[in-house]
Amino acid sequence: MLPPTPSIESLRAGDPQALAALFEIHADRVYRLAFGLLRERQAAEDVVQETFLSAMTHLAQFEGRSSLGTWLYRVAYNASLTRLRARPSEPLPPDEPEPGEPPLPRALVEWDQTPEEMLLDAEGRRQLEAAITTLPETLRAAFILRDVEELSTQETAESLGISEGAVKVRLHRARLLLREHLAEYFGARAAQKEGEP
């Protein structure tokens, strides 16, 4: 069970138990967001470290307009983007314009397995990994926070520093792109099965 959220006063006072509670509550989410963006364990751990250190150092600037959690995710998101931009092999566009309407779905076949069965399928899991890796980072972050972490649209908007409308646009596009990618594999397999004698 997670400990109760520590008060901002106890954190500012340097209470070690408050820091431990903050870490216990939020470290995994910070890690998953960073790992989701960077796809590298060590880099994600470095972001966790940097995020908590930076947050504790700048506690005076925390105004309480958002929750401590979304404040931490925002620090982690920015730290992850900074690292991504520093990778010479995969430069991000400086400020990606909001994407327009996503293309209409093309793969229109039912999948042949339930999600539970798909999870046991090694090739299926590889396809999941490939799908999320090809998603632009800004869309990936919105998808991770909304659909994996199950934050609200408002919390996601605060974490990413964008409007709620922009979260919805990014999430919608992310879902359709991921679905299309997976449908090429799971749908094609289902179609193949139907054709078998």
Partner 1 sequence: MNCEELIHYLSDYIDNGLTEKLRVDAEEHLATCRNCHVVLDTTRQTIVLFRETHREGIPVDRRSALFGQLEKAMAARRSGRGMP
10 vs 153, which CB is nearer to partner 1? 153
Written as six digits, the tokens of 45 are 């751990």
> Considering only 1-9, 65-73, 79-87, 148-156, which stretch makes contact with partner 1 by CB under 8 A?
148-156
Which 79-108 positions form the footprint of partner 1 (CB under 8 A)? 101-102, 104-105, 107-108
The CA distance from 128 to 182, in Å, is 7
Q: In this chain, which of 3, 7, 12, 109 binds partner 1, going by CB under 8 A?
A: 109
Q: Which DSSP string do the residues of 144-159 spell out, in sequence order? A: IIIIIS---HHHHHHH
* Residue 8 found at the interface with partner 1 (CB under 8 A): no
Q: Which residues of 160-186 are buried (b: 16+ CB within 10 A; e: fewer)?
A: bebeeebbebbbbbbbbbbebbbbebb
Which residue bears the tokens 């408002």? 154
For partner 1, give the closer residue by CB, 57 or 89: 57
**Helix, strand, coil percentages for the chain (3-state, nearest 5):** 70, 0, 30
Binding pattern for the stretch 17-56 against partner 1, x by CB under 8 A and - elsewhere? --xx--x---xx--xx---x----x---x--xx--xx--x
Piece in contact with partner 1 (CB under 8 A), picked from 66-74, 78-86, 155-163, 169-177: 169-177
For Cα atoms 69, 75, 81, give the angle at the middle one, nearest 5 degrees. Answer: 130
Q: What value does the CA radius of gyration of the chain take, rounded to a whole number of Å?
A: 19
Instruction: Convert 19-53 into a string of H (helix), E (strand) and C (coil).
Output: HHHHHHHHHHHHHHHHHHHHCCHHHHHHHHHHHHH
**Residue 77 interacting with partner 1 (CB under 8 A):** no
Instruction: Name which position in 37, 38, 79, 171 contacts partner 1 (CB under 8 A).
Output: 171
Which residues are at the interface with partner 1 (CB under 8 A)?
14, 16, 19-20, 23, 27-28, 31-32, 36, 41, 45, 48-49, 52-53, 56-57, 101-102, 104-105, 107-111, 115, 118-119, 125, 128, 132, 143-144, 147-148, 150, 153, 168, 171-172, 175-176, 178-179, 182-183, 186-187
